Each structure stands twice: as C-alpha cells, then as structure tokens.
Chains A and B, each alone.
Chain A
Amino acid sequence: MPDATRLGAMTSTVTTPSSESAHGPHPADRTGAQVAADAAAVIGTADLSEAGLRRFLQGLPGVDRVGADGRAAQLGTRSIKTSAKAWALDLTISMIDLTTLEGADTAGKVRSLVAKARTPEPGDATCPRPAAVCVYGDMVTVARDAIGTSGINVAAVATAFPSGRAGREVRLADTRDAVAAGADEIDMVIDRGAFLSGHYRKVYDDIVAVREVCHEADRPAHLKVILETGELATYDNVRRASWLAMLAGADFIKTSTGKVSPAATLPVTVIMLEAVRDFLATTGVQIGVKPAGGIRTAKDAIKYLVAVNEVAGEAWLDPDYFRFGASSLLNDVLLQRQKLATGAYSGPDYVTID
C-alpha cells in the first residue's frame, strides 16, 4: 500500500471494520524490529529518514475541518437510552484511567484515588472498575501498593510531562524510574516543538527510545503517546502526529495532557479514530485511542463511544483499545448509574468528593 490515494479513499468512507479482523496480537507484543518493519510497510520504503517520514506524513490527505466538525457534531446527537445507556455507562467506567496529575498530589490522595478505583460504588458489587489509575512517576510505588491484586493497572506519565521540554536522557530516565517502580502503562508526551518545526525523525526516535525502555521490564509496559492536540494547531497535524506515533510503535495514541486548553475534543478524537482504523487495515495492528481532559459528564462520554463505534468499529469498544483520561467523569457516570437503578435523580452528596 499505502499511498495517499488509498488512505484518502478509506478516510472518506464510513466503514465499520468487521470484528473478526480485530484483536490480533497486542501491539505491545511486537519487537522493535517488527515495529520498524510495519513502519516500512506503511511508508512503502525502508527509508525512515527525516525526508522519508516527511514525504509520507506531508502526503497524507488533508482533513476537511468543517466536515470533521460536522461529522463529530452529528455523532453527538445520537440518543442512547435505557438498557443501551446502562451498558454504555458500565463500559465507560471500565475504560476510565482515573487520573490525578497535580503538583499538590500526596501519597494519601493517590491512595484514596485507588480506593475509589477498587470500589467505585460501595453499594453495588456489579459496578465495574476503572481500567487504570494514572499518576505521576513518583507516585507509582504508592499506587502499586494500594492496588494490590485488584487487577487495576498503574499508568504513569513520564518523559518530562506535561511539556516534554527536557533532554532525551532525562526523559528516558524519567520513564525508566516509572517502569522500575512497577508502572503497567507509560503515558509519554511528544516533543511538540520538534513536530511543529518538521523534525519528524526526532519525534520518531524519541518514541522508539521510550518504547525500548518500556520493554526493559519483564512484562512490557504499554506505551501511550500523548500528541497534545491543543498545541498542534491544525487537524492535518493531528492526523500526521497520529500516524507518526503509530509508525514509531505507540500502543495507544492519546489526545492531550489535560494541562492545555483545548484538551480532548470530539472532532480530534474522530480524526485519531480514523487513523487507527486505517492503520489496522494497512498493517493488521490495532492501536488504541485515549481522549483525555475535559470529558466530565456521562453524556460526553457516550458521545465518544458512539464515535468509536461509528468511526473505528466495535473492536475498539474495549478497555484494551479505548480509554478515557478523566478524574471527575467517574462521579458523573456513577450518578447516572444510580439514576437508572433507582429512577430518582441523584446528587453530589452520594458520591465521594475527590
């Protein structure tokens, strides 16, 4: 493949891949050589130089901004009620990366966050648990101890989060610390400055290096690559950054750090979902998507799930391939669950304050 024309055909049609093509080997199980081979197959040449990457990324079809916004708005109008809503709410909870990324984080705050993840709804044992808790690297040990054997993952932000403005060795050391402390997932940031000035190879090398560090552990830590779409300026850049991150071996592409406004938006997520869909069609490797920041209500979350189903397909309706980075979203989903269970509108007195 993959010349730009074929990609254009794929991105312009609404295809829902059938589920049998999905859930191949997990992207994190690939070796570095396999990742490079996949990248070469996508680009059509083994030349992964700056020029080669630029030729491919600049050759990607542009995004019709008005069309993307319109499509996202249209997907947001679906009405999801009763049993479908109940299913969506439970799925949403199981996809949440419960997050605390504040300078004021303490061990106690992280422990209470983990306690909430372990028992989101104390009165209802059928309530699913969030997929992971997401903390700064120095809190991984605390989170790991508190999580015990509950099966919740620990995700750590690394590589000089949120700006990424540090030398590669510092960023790798940051990652190595978190992996050594037992992080199951690493959320790295790309160097937006390098990306915006066209140094794609630099961004590519950063991701490859961080991925290698992730794979130094006995069980490889999954790598989420934060594009920080709020700083990328155009939808074309979001598409390019998505492809660049996937070529370099990301297991997940994530919209934002949550520290920059705008954070996750539905149109941006739709563009990223198109990218992972096309990447699966090209390479047979299914990459995940994680919108993060600004998703606060169950209603918003359900709009994202509709977009996932319509754009990428059912295979992505799975916590291994779609996550929400959020802190207050869980409470709102719990309130909606209570409403469905009791028929009475619930209120903030009935969830924990965090």
Chain B
Amino acid sequence: MRATAPARIDVRKTYKLFIGGAFPRSESGRTYEVTSAKGAFLANAAQGSRKDARDSVRAARAAQPGWAGATAYNRGQVLYRVAELLEGRRAQFVSDVAAGEGLTERRAQDVVSAAIDRWVWYAGWSDKVAQVAGNANPVAGPYFNISAPEPTGVVAVIAPQESSLLGLVSVLAPAIVTGNTVVVVASEDRPLPAISLAEVLATSDVPGGVVNIITGRTGEIAPHLAKHMDVNAIDVAGALGASGITWGELEAEAAGTVKRVLRPAGDDEGSWADAQSLNAILAYTETKTVWHPKGM
C-alpha cells in the first residue's frame, strides 16, 4: 500500500478595503459575493459602509499636504513605479479582468496594457502640468503675475461600473497626479481589480492615505461622499449604471458644499479606449495667482 500525499488546502484570499495604507475589513463587518460575468462565484469582498467612507476621507485629508508637498518630479517617479509593478503583476490583472468583465484572454491582455500605458501617460504629466496650464500673465504694473495650478484637496471618485481596471485607472490617475488624495468607490459588481491595484499601490512608495479604496454598494456610499463637507471634488462617472443612484442626484448633494463635480462624458459608460486628457487632470486643480514685485 502506498500512502497518498494529502491534498493541499486552498489558500483563499479575503478581499478587504484599502484605507490609509492598511487593508481593514469593513467597519460594518459586512461582505458580499463577487461573481464573474458568467455568474460563477469569484470571491467575497468587503461591503463598505458610510463610516468606512468617513475614515477614508480622514486618511485622505491627513495624507494630502504631504503628497501635494512632494516635488512634482518625485510624484512622477512614484507613479511610474506603480506602472512598473502593474506590469510585474500583469497575469493577475489579466485573470481578474477576464473573469470580471467576461473578456477573452487576449482582449483582457489588451485592456491591461492600455491601463498601464494610461497610468504612465498621466504619471508623465506630473512635472509638466504647471508649464502647460500655468502662465506668466502680462499686467499693467511692475509685477510678475504668475498663475499656476494647485491640487484642490480630497477627491471622491465613484469608479466606473463596467470597466473595472481601465476605467478605474482613467479616473484615478488624473486625480492624484497633481497632489490630490482620493477616496475611490470601486465598481460594485467588479471590485477585484481595484483591490489588486490597492495591493500594487501599497507596495510602491505611494504614501498611505493618498489612495483609499472602498468596495461595496455604490448607491449606499456615494451620497455620503457627495455630501461630505471635507471632500473638495467628486467624479460621478460610476453613478452611470449603479443601482439606486444617478449622477444628477450626486451633483445636487455636492452642490451643498460647492464641490467641483466632474460629470460623465455621455449617457452610457463607453469603452474608455481613448479617455485620457489633460482636462481630466485640470478638473481637480485650483488656479493660484501670485503677484510679485519686480526688483527696482
């Protein structure tokens, strides 16, 4: 008789939130099932609550001065490093995206490549935004008059529902490149690439709290972020196709504290294939103008 080797026990993964550089479970203790596009069980993800959103905003607010205070060159380097690690974990993202979005292996490869390229594209803007969007203004007096874009502060990002990686990168990267910190509400039904991205961010010199990711019901969490008085801007892209909420409602809530609101481009989500633009970066900046006397 031969002894059979014991079957290896699966190492199952618990998907958690990403708040302040740590991976906590939801304060509410809730989880929900994430299924593939074909309906097969993929994983349990944490179902975040409004208190997780509140904690995330607090972490983002605490991290904001440090991130904005880093030199633009340094921020660009840090973000490029994220792209390096994304490339290194390509296989994981391909399988996450293929399962979640129901794509073929080859299509998923293309999507991941596009997402990494987009991240690099935005990272490159870090030390170039001020040259393009800033200006030395001609004024009638002995002054230098200089306008420069500055980060607005804490940005809430309601991530797209359909495109769980490329769409997420397309709304996340432009917000953080200028020195904003963000609270992301990941795609409700396809949250796994967002958490995998959080694992990349956690190991790539991005300071804790710069990006915070909450998974859960978009319709439950987003209104609290739109109302939150310590959030300076909100991207409502993910309200398209989310149940229980429209982007118009979020915009109305955000008006209470005169937040900057970035509306979705169209009535449906689109493919995100060419959704990269300088305007996405400038949507979360404030123009600071300085008058400085000229030397006599």
Binding site for B on A (CB under 8 A): 338, 343-350
Q: Closest approach, in angstroms, between the C-beta of A270 and any C-beta of chain B?
A: 27
Q: What are the interface flags for B222-261 relative to A under an 8 Å C-beta threshold, 1 for contact and 0 otherwise?
A: 0010011111000000000000000000000000110000
Is A347 within 8 A of B54, CB to CB? no
Interface residues of B in 254-283 (CB under 8 A from A): 256-257
Is B61 within 8 A of A348, CB to CB? yes
- Shortest Cβ-Cβ A-B pairs, 3 listed: A347-B230, A344-B227, A345-B228
Interface residues of B in 17-40 (CB under 8 A from A): none
Interface residues of B in 43-100 (CB under 8 A from A): 54, 57, 61
User: With a CB–CB cut-off of 8 A, which chain B residues contact A338?
Assistant: 229
Q: How far is the CA of A344 from the CA of B228 in the complex (A)?
A: 5
Q: Which residue of B lies closest to A345 (CB)?
A: B228
Q: Which residue of B lies closest to A338 (CB)?
A: B229
User: With a CB–CB cut-off of 8 A, which chain A residues contact B227?
Assistant: 343-345
Is B61 within 8 A of A345, CB to CB? no
User: With a CB–CB cut-off of 8 A, which chain A residues contact B230?
Assistant: 345-349
Q: How far is the CA of A349 from the CA of B258 in the complex (A)?
A: 13
Q: Closest approach, in angstroms, between the C-beta of B277 and any C-beta of chain A?
A: 30
Q: Which residue of B lies closest to A350 (CB)?
A: B229
State whether A344 and B54 are in contact (beta carbons under 8 Å apart), knowing that A349-B229, A349-B230, A350-B229 are contacts in the complex: no
Q: Closest approach, in angstroms, between the C-beta of A17 and any C-beta of chain B?
A: 36
User: With a CB–CB cut-off of 8 A, which chain B residues contact A350?
Assistant: 229
Q: Closest approach, in angstroms, between the C-beta of B185 and any C-beta of chain A?
A: 15
Instruction: Name the residue in A343, A344, A346, A350 with the highest tally of chain B Cβ atoms < 10 Å from its Cβ.
Output: A344
User: With a CB–CB cut-off of 8 A, which chain A residues contact B61?
Assistant: 347-348
Q: How far is the CA of A85 from the CA of B231 in the complex (A)?
A: 25
User: With a CB–CB cut-off of 8 A, which chain B residues contact A348?
Assistant: 61, 230
Q: Closest approach, in angstroms, between the C-beta of B272 and any C-beta of chain A?
A: 30
Given contacts A344-B256, A349-B229, 13 further A-B contacts (CB under 8 A): A344-B224, A344-B227, A344-B229, A344-B257, A345-B57, A345-B228, A345-B230, A346-B230, A347-B57, A347-B228, A347-B229, A348-B230, A350-B229
Q: How far is the CA of A343 from the CA of B228 in the complex (A)?
A: 9
Q: How far is the CA of A344 from the CA of B57 in the complex (A)?
A: 13
20 A-B residue pairs with Cβ-Cβ distance under 8 Å, sorted by A, are: A344-B224, A344-B227, A344-B228, A344-B229, A344-B257, A345-B54, A345-B224, A345-B227, A345-B228, A345-B229, A345-B230, A347-B57, A347-B61, A347-B228, A347-B230, A348-B61, A348-B230, A349-B229, A349-B230, A350-B229
Q: How far is the CA of A345 from the CA of B58 in the complex (A)?
A: 10
Q: How far is the CA of A338 from the CA of B230 in the complex (A)?
A: 12
Q: How far is the CA of A350 from the CA of B228 in the complex (A)?
A: 12
Q: Closest approach, in angstroms, between the C-beta of B149 and any C-beta of chain A?
A: 21
